[in-house]
A and B are shown apart, each in its own frame.
Chain A
Amino acid sequence: MEQEPRGAPPDRREFLRRAGRGVGAAFLAGTAGRILLGAGRDSGRPADRWSWRIDPSKCVFCTKCATACVRRPSAVKAVNDQKLCSNCVVCYGHIFNRHAPADQIDLQPKVCPVNAVRRTLLFGGPEGFYLYEIRHEDCFGCGLCARECNRHGSKSMFLVIRPDLCLDCAECTIARVCPTGAVVRAPRQAATEVREPPPMEEPR
């Protein structure tokens, strides 16, 4: 193999190779500068990672989250925002019958098909205040409790995609079937934030 003298003009193939290498490196550097450093970005710090999130203001509790997720059981779980919950004796996310006597509530048919909505007495005896929690060990994300709570109750239950359970498909299979487009991409840092509470009513 002949050794080419250094500094000799490269042949056509080698010249194209070098030009391609330069163009490729320039493309990589430009992309890195644009995305990593945020050149031309309007404002804000870039997020490390984006993940899927349900927008509670758009969710209509169609129960498709339970079946559309690639994961069985679904990564969607219901949560109860305790700051909004009014802790009543009769919770519509818990049982349907609003006229049930207080001592027979545990015998009533439950909203949740797997009985994942559990209540524990906070204080005040059988007619007092209860803490309602959704056991994520059982919950499979059908959202029936959140539907009843939002129709008749204090609108404190809603659905979240747990980012630790989410397999983070690049395209969420729930987003494909969601009727209102409530499943959106959001920065990972904000993915578990609880929704904004409604504006406080002015006391009269």
Chain B
Amino acid sequence: MTAALWLLPIFLSGPPGERPQEPAPPAAAQEPDIQAYKERLVPAEYRPFRSVPWELVDLGVLVALLAAAAVLAIRRSPWRRMLGLAVFALLYLGFLRGGCLCPIGAVVEASRGILWPEEAGRIAALLFLVPLAAALVAGRVFCGGACPLGAAQYLVFLGSRPRRIPAGVERALRVIPWGILAATVWLAVRGGCLLVCRLDPFVTAFAHGQAWFRKFLSLVGLVFVEPGPVAAGDAAAWAWLCGALALSMVVPMPFCRYLCPYGALLGLFSRGALCRKALPAGACTGCGACARVCPVQAIGPDRPGGPVRVNQARCIRCGRCDGACPRAKGT
């Protein structure tokens, strides 16, 4: 009992690390207490930068875009409305927010997260899941209405007529995304590199957009950005970007068709979609107008001489075929 009473003041004084400092010698009394000063000092760069709310806003925008695109695709609205959604996605998710709130890159986080859930971010997992869930309902509406990468390529070729690739070559090239998906998952799990993000040509442009948007915000005093020009990417990245855009003018949407691993995954989910894409209603005369405007070469016969069908895995639900059909225009 006496021992406990003897120990009581020690407990009351707290752990030794939190014991108050020895009183300063009288000589230092007229000077400011430097230790107290340091305790109070919290430099600006130590404060946590809260950007998670912004990312939740981005996620909300993505969900809203997908819902709107799904409604447009199911109701067969004019293709210009879907184009409007795509342009908004390009401007907001792409240039303003850097394009890296990106389901394509989230393939990596999701594949790691399935194995090691404690290493995955929840926002990235949602980014990965939401477009796939939308694909189960209405097909690849993400590619046609909410993906900034798709929108960039779609806008570039918009004025010109898509050039057709021979069907056999097209089928062979469509295998590449599956290889890239397998390589991406393998490298992500091994921890080597993130293949998708090295292949993505548009990240350079989007990084510039984001940096300059932040610079605009810094003029109002909202955020910190260094004075002077902000740049991103090296010569190889710029060459890759310009090359991809130039190729998009000749062959529409080359990244989506022949490289994007997430597009392949969306196509797989799109095969089981609740609302499938069908050709424009009305008696088909076989004029082929829909197949000529399709940017992803999704419309055509399965075999030579067979009936014309929409390939659900390729169709990005842009709605160009509905606009091109001479029969559907009348109705």
Residues in chain A within 8 A of chain B (CB atoms): 17-21, 23-25, 28, 31-32, 34-36, 38-44, 46-50, 70-73, 77, 79-80, 82-83, 87, 122-124, 129, 133, 136-138, 160, 162-165, 167-171, 176, 185, 187-189, 191-192, 194, 200
- Max chain B CB contacts within 10 Å: which of A83, A129, A137, A169? A169
The bracket for how many chain B residues form the interface is 35 or more
Q: How far, in angstroms, from A188 to B126 measured CA to CA in the complex?
A: 16
Decide yes or no: A167 and B114 within 8 Å by CB, A136-B45, A137-B227, A192-B49 being known contacts: no
Please classify the interface of chain B as helix (H, G, I), strand (E, B), loop, or mixed, using the class held by over half of its residues. Answer: helix
- State whether A79 touches B46 (Cβ < 8 A): yes
Q: What are 27 A-B residue pairs whose CB atoms fall within 8 Å in the complex?
A: A19-B272, A21-B273, A24-B269, A28-B132, A32-B129, A34-B117, A36-B125, A47-B121, A48-B123, A49-B52, A50-B119, A70-B233, A71-B230, A72-B229, A72-B230, A123-B31, A123-B32, A136-B226, A162-B45, A162-B49, A163-B51, A164-B49, A167-B210, A167-B232, A168-B98, A170-B196, A192-B46
Q: How far, in angstroms, from A188 to B117 measured CA to CA in the complex?
A: 16
Q: Which residues of A contact B274 (CB under 8 A)?
A: 21
* 5 closest cross-chain pairs (CB), A and B: A20-B272, A21-B272, A171-B194, A170-B105, A35-B125
Q: Which residues of A contact B214 (CB under 8 A)?
A: 165
- State whether B118 touches A42 (Cβ < 8 A): yes
Q: Which residues of B contact A163 (CB under 8 A)?
A: 49, 51
Q: How far, in angstroms, from A191 to B230 measured CA to CA in the complex?
A: 23
In chain A, what residue has the closest Cβ to B128?
Answer: A31
- State whether B108 touches A24 (Cβ < 8 A): no
Decide yes or no: A49 and B45 within 8 Å by CB, A42-B118, A137-B226, A170-B100 being known contacts: no
Q: Which residues of B contact A24 (CB under 8 A)?
A: 132, 136, 268-269, 272
Decide yes or no: A171 and B55 within 8 Å by CB, A38-B118, A136-B224, A162-B49 being known contacts: no
B329 contacts A by Cβ under 8 Å: no
Decide yes or no: A170 and B102 within 8 Å by CB, A36-B125, A123-B32, A192-B46 being known contacts: yes
Q: How far, in angstroms, from A70 to B204 measured CA to CA in the complex?
A: 9
Decide yes or no: A192 and B47 within 8 Å by CB, A25-B136, A73-B226, A129-B34 being known contacts: yes
- State whether A188 touches B230 (Cβ < 8 A): no
B15 contacts A by Cβ under 8 Å: no
